Amino acid sequence: MQFIKPGINLDFVGKRKIAFAISLAMILASMVSLVIHRGPKYGIDFSGGTLIQVKFANPVRIDDIKSGLSRLNIGISSVQHFGEAEENEFLVRTDQSETAAEGFAGQVEKELKAATGSDTEVRRIEMVGPQVGKDLREKALLAMFYVLLFISIYISGRFEFKWALSGVMAGALMAAVYFLSLFHVGIPFLIVVALVVTIFLFWFLNLKYAMGAIVALIHDVVITVGVFSIFGKEFTLPIIAALLTIIGYSLNDTIIVFDRIRENLRKNYKSPLDININRSINETLSRTILTSGTTLIVVIALFVLGGGIIHDFAFAMIVGVLIGTYSSIYVASPILIAWQRSGRKNR
Instruction: Say if residue 216 is exposed, middle or buried (CB neighbours under 10 Å; 0-12, 13-18, 19+).
Output: buried
Give the residues of the chain that fall short of pLDDT 70. Answer: 1-7, 76-77, 97-102, 130, 340-347
Question: Are residues 331 and 196 both part of a single domain?
Answer: yes
Q: Which of 113, 128, 143 is the last residue of a domain?
A: 128
Domain containing 236: what range? 13-43+132-341
Contacts 24+ apart (CB under 8 A), 267-274: 273/336, 273/337, 273/340, 273/346, 274/13, 274/337
Contacts of 156 (CB under 8 A, 6+ apart): 162, 163, 165, 166, 207, 209, 210
Question: Are residues 102 and 152 both part of a single domain?
Answer: no
Instruction: Report pTM.
Output: 0.81
DSSP states along 253-278: HHHHHHHHHHHHHHHTTTS-HHHHHH
Amino acid at 130: P
Question: Are residues 140 and 260 both part of a single domain?
Answer: yes
Question: pLDDT by residue (tens digit) across 166-182?
Answer: 888 788 778 877 777 77
Nearest residue to 146 via CA among 71, 52, 244: 244
Question: Are residues 240 and 193 both part of a single domain?
Answer: yes
Question: Are residues 329 and 268 both part of a single domain?
Answer: yes
Question: Are residues 105 and 224 both part of a single domain?
Answer: no
The pLDDT assigned to 265 comes to 87
Domain count for the chain, please give it.
Answer: 2
Domain-embedded: residue 268: yes
Question: pLDDT by residue (tens digit) across 142-199?
Answer: 888 888 888 878 888 888 777 888 888 788 778 877 777 777 777 777 778 878 888 8
The helix or strand, by DSSP H or E, that contains position 211, with its residue range, turns out to be helix 208-230
Q: Which of 80, 105, 128 is the last residue of a domain?
A: 128
Amino acid at 126: E
Domain-embedded: residue 93: yes
- Residue 90, SS3? strand
